[in-house]
Amino acid sequence: MLVMKTLCILIFVFALTHAAVAAQYDPVEVYVWGQQPTSAATEQTRWSKDLELRPSNTPSDVMRLTPTLMISQHHGGGKADQILLRGFDSDHGTDFQVTVDGIPVNMVSNAHGQGYADLHWLIPETIDRVEIYKGSYFPHLGDFATSGAINIVTKRYAQQSSLTVMGGSYQTARFLGTLSSPEGTFLRPYMAFEYYHNDGPFKNPNEYNRYNFFSKINIISNARSNLEFLATYFSSNWNASGEIPSRAVRDRSLGRFGSVDSSEGGNSERQNLSLIYDFADANQSLRAQTWMSWYRLQLWSNFTFFLNNPVEGDGIEQNDKRFLIGNNVIYRRNYSLGDIPTETLLGFQSRFDHIKVGLFNQEKRHRLSTTNDNLIRQTNLSWFAHQEIRPTNWFRGQLGARLDNFWWNVTQAGPATQPIAGSASESIASPKMNLIFTPFTDNEVTQRTNLFFNIGGGFHSNDARVVVQDSTRPLARFWGGELGVRTRLVEKMGFSTAYWRSYLSSELVFVGDEGTFEPSGASKRHGIEAEFRYDILPWLTYDLDASYSWARFTNGEAVPLAPRALAFTGLTARHDSGLQARLQMRYIGPRYAIEDRSIKVPQSAIFDLFLKYIWQQRHEFFVAFQNLANTKWRSAEHAVTSRLQGEPPEGVLGANFTPGDPFTATAGVTMRLW
């Protein structure tokens, strides 16, 4: 362990030293490494322009740029969003990896759920692009990157400083300021500040408050090298109405926006520091990064109401406080073997989590007893390699592999009714292969058609508290493959489609809401998805993302909450007059909430409209209307055995849900300062 930590430090020191030397090079030599050609039909990059006309409630809405991915919120706006993609209800991130500028967002061994990915510390206006991956075919993506992954890349600077003021339904208010110095300024600092408030439509107001600060400084920037420093601060607090029983809404004993336990809610904080060094010349590139984060989460919830404690209720408190630090090093080199162009990529990643995590029984946010209270030390070291060859102008082949090593150590932090302690370690190797064909090479137009075949292994780690109790399945193995095509046969139309299959081995899931773990059987999934883009007019574009998935356990039972039909479509207008608009529709089809298929989550189709007017390039006026049809829909739903006062002691199995927002309107203005 000490050797690896020393190696990381030496690599980073080398990068800094090389940066100082590279700064002396003649700036006339400029080497630009653009986006690499895609390796899968479903791999792509979406730019900040795609975000400008999309109505959003939280920074997590940026994930909707991933075609056929849906998110939902069910805890007052402050909790990490629920993620649906490729037949996975990834909960809050168990099977979907999220990073920002290489900093991992997913939290291992989190108090609420494995892979918990809270993006509320992101300011959407600071985003430059979103790198999107689906499947397990990419060696630089590790833990949680099974159904897919995104890496959000923030801007190095903004062209202009700006101020945004927004307000709307349910006491919504947002204030945003960005400050960016002119080109040529020493270090060229870039900063953004945000405050957001929302009460929601609930009888128990959310009182959701979010505070964000973002800063980036270019320490070294020349023809070959760049060294940048990033720092962020985030804090939030909120109330929540929780998931309510549908039976209580049907018999009118509870309103649709009512609450059984009004004490639910939470608060969260996160601070990040990152130092990234980039070097590139005509044949090679190097990226070396060190990052660190401080994180805190406190959640008060009540999922079963009075099932276990008929007097004080079943309220729980989940607490997570941690420090995490890691490194990312990627080296890429282009060269030729004879007449065959090749590319080699080598990389190393490390992550060290120091966690204090606990589960407590509570009533109205006052602790009653301790279920478990632990200190966790978790380490993940990863090596990966990727080799590409291009023997002809119509074929590229890529072979890759990744090796991950984990160490877990869990100790007691204090007395608990369910004590957990122990140590474990495990390693897993993940091979990858991508084959890319360009079948028509006789003219420029047909070269825009590519065929892809991808296959690879991946995994997600289990909670450390599970691993040390049953070390037989510390890592859930994932295998995936897909066949796809991406084409732009005519200038104005783009299309891609893919058929995919996946297998996830049996796993042990830590139930953060109860402090226990339960086995989840092996599952199989397959599906088809498609993207369509058409430029109707120079200023008018239509887009459609659609997918259909099948998911089941190998014993034939349904995978609860696994999405089936998903669609996202819209018309976007950007007229030279300064008028811009987008009309969009989000659709989630019906799905099963329980293994025996006896409870179904109903479908929903939500329409949104966003309008903007740009005046003299200095002022932007905008208005957003969400849920135009005022549809009654369910943002989230689970099959739960719960008990209300007066119900049988054994409780009632049924659907508990969080209602989606009704029609809402917001409006605002952005002023460019200089």
What pLDDT was estimated at residue 439? 85
Structural domains of the chain, ranges and CATH numbers in brackets: 2-672 (2.40.170.20)
Q: What is the DSSP track for 254-273?
A: S-TT--S-TT-EEEEEEEEE
Q: How confident is the model over 283-340, as pLDDT tens digits?
A: 999 999 999 999 999 999 999 999 999 999 999 999 999 999 999 999 999 999 989 9
The predicted structure's pLDDT at residue 188: 87
What pLDDT score does 515 carry?
58
Residue 149's beta-bridge partner residues? 97, 133
SS3 for 600? strand
Q: What is the pLDDT of residue 127?
A: 95
pTM, entire model: 0.93
The answer to whether residues 440 and 485 touch, using CB atoms and an 8 Å cutoff, is no
Query: In this structure, are residues 538 and 570 in contact, taking their beta carbons and an 8 Å threshold?
Result: no
Helix (H) or strand (E) holding 608: strand 604-615
Report the pLDDT value the prediction gives residue 16, as an integer from 0 to 100: 39
**Is residue 545 scored above 70 in pLDDT?**
yes
pLDDT at 510: 56
Query: What's the pLDDT tens digit per position in 84-128?
Result: 999 999 889 999 999 999 999 999 999 999 999 999 999 999 999
Residue 446 has what pLDDT? 47
Within 8 A by CB and 6+ apart from 409, the residues are 376, 377, 378, 422, 423, 464, 468
Determine the Cα–Cα distance for residues 259 and 615; give it in Å rounded to an integer: 44
The rounded mean pLDDT for the chain is 91
| Mean predicted confidence (pLDDT) in 235-263 | 95
Q: What average pLDDT does this structure show over 174-189?
A: 88
Predicted pLDDT at 508: 62
Over range 28-40, report the average pLDDT. 59
The whole-number average pLDDT for the span 473-477 is 91
Residue 36 clears pLDDT 80, i.e. is over it: no
| pLDDT tens, residue by residue, 339-378 | 999 999 999 999 999 999 999 999 999 999 999 999 999 9
pLDDT at position 488 is 84
Tokens of 182: 């002119």
The amino acid occupying position 415 is P
Distance of CA 34 to the CA centre of its chain: 24
Question: CA-CA-CA-CA torsion for 532, 533, 537, 539, nearest 10 degrees?
Answer: 140
Distance between CA atoms of residues 649 and 509, nearest Å: 27
DSSP at 141? -
